[in-house]
Amino acid sequence: MKFSSIILLVSTAFILSGCGDEASQSAEKKADPTFMFWCFRKEIVSADYHIPDMKTEAAASYIQSRLKSVPGYTDSSYNLASRSMTVSYKSSTVRKMNFEEAIAQSGFAVNHRPAYPNAKIPAGVK
């Protein structure tokens, strides 16, 4: 009896966990969707990264060139005044942490994560 109650509770939870209203569902279907359970989710998402040592255009370009090698990367933009970078990526392919790791491996601290100490940074970048 307990087992059937648990199955009933879990199946009710799945049924009640909706995907939002129909307008948001149809918007997701049109904008490069990813199907997860019975919902359509955004495929292209973006994340912001704070990079305190990114002070020059050369540093930003260097970081962007390193990020392009991460599978799932689609685009990025930076703001030198706030020392931040916004990265757009495919959520079904890669996760936010992968970009933090790539930035740290390139020799720059990111989001309170230290830079790799043995990273080889080209002259004039940092």
Distance CA 117, CA 126 (A): 14
pLDDT above 90 covers a percentage of the chain that reads: 60
Residue 82 is assigned to a structural domain of this protein: yes
Residue 7 is assigned to a structural domain of this protein: no
Mean pLDDT across 48-69 = 96
Structural domain that includes position 86: 44-105
Which pLDDT score is estimated for 84?
97
Residue 19 is assigned to a structural domain of this protein: no
Is the per-residue pLDDT at 82 higher than 90?
Answer: yes
Mean pLDDT across 51-58 = 96
Give me the CATH number covering residue 49: 3.30.70.100
- Cα–Cα distances (Å) from 82 to 49, 51, 65, 66, 115, in that order, read 10, 9, 20, 20, 19
Is the per-residue pLDDT at 62 higher than 80?
Answer: yes
Number of domains in the chain: 1
What average pLDDT is seen over the chain?
Answer: 84
Could you give the residue ranges of the DSSP H alpha helices within the chain?
A: 2-16, 22-30, 57-67, 96-105
Distance CA 110, CA 90 (A): 20
Is the per-residue pLDDT at 18 higher than 60?
Answer: no
Enumerate residues 6+ apart whose C-beta is below 8 A from 63: 51, 54, 78, 85, 103, 106, 108
Residue tagged 């919902």 (tokens):
39
Mean pLDDT across 33-60 = 84
Which pLDDT score is estimated for 2?
72
What's the burial of 85, exposed, middle or buried (CB within 10 Å: 0-12/13-18/19+)?
buried
Residue 51 is assigned to a structural domain of this protein: yes
pLDDT-based confidence at 28, cuts 50/70/90? very low
